[in-house]
Amino acid sequence: MDLVIDANILFAALVKESSTSDIFFKHTLYAPEFILEEFKKYKDYLKGKTKRSEPGFIDFFDIFERTVIFIPIEEITPFLEKSEGISPDPKDVPYLALALKLRCALWSNDKKLKKQEVIAVYSTEELMDI
């Protein structure tokens, strides 16, 4: 299944080995390119919270960079206006815009996102059941 991944899913997978990190390899994942900047912004915080070793943390992020297909913001710009109209949170607009562009679902544990009815949103638990 093709899925857009949000930053919180990445952060959860980086912090500890779990079913979240297992799902990474079962789907084709996409993310807005700026998610890499989000990671750099919170890298030290995440490293302080991680249950992974330092090498394990770095290795997992390297795998993430090679596994996820990053889409430049310019490619999702035409979809931002529609996303703004359906997003319950301004921070989620780029993820919804990318899902609109790709015509695929979004992987997020944000319950507010499920209230909109345009993009299918799957939680980690739902993806484990698929």
How far apart are the C-alpha atoms of 21 and 37, rounded to whole Å? 20
**Which of 32-41, 57-66, 84-93, 101-110 bottoms out in mean pLDDT, i.e. has the lowest?**
57-66
How crowded is residue 101: how many other Cβ atoms within 10 Å of its Cβ? 18
Candidates 120, 107, 118, 116; CA nearest to 23 is: 107
The CATH number of the domain holding residue 23 is 3.40.50.1010
**Average of per-residue pLDDT across 53-60:** 78
Residues 14, 8: Cα–Cα separation, whole Å: 10
Structural domain containing residue 99:
2-129
Q: Between these two residues, 115 and 60, which has the higher pLDDT value? A: 115
Task: Please tell me the total count of domains within the chain.
Answer: 1
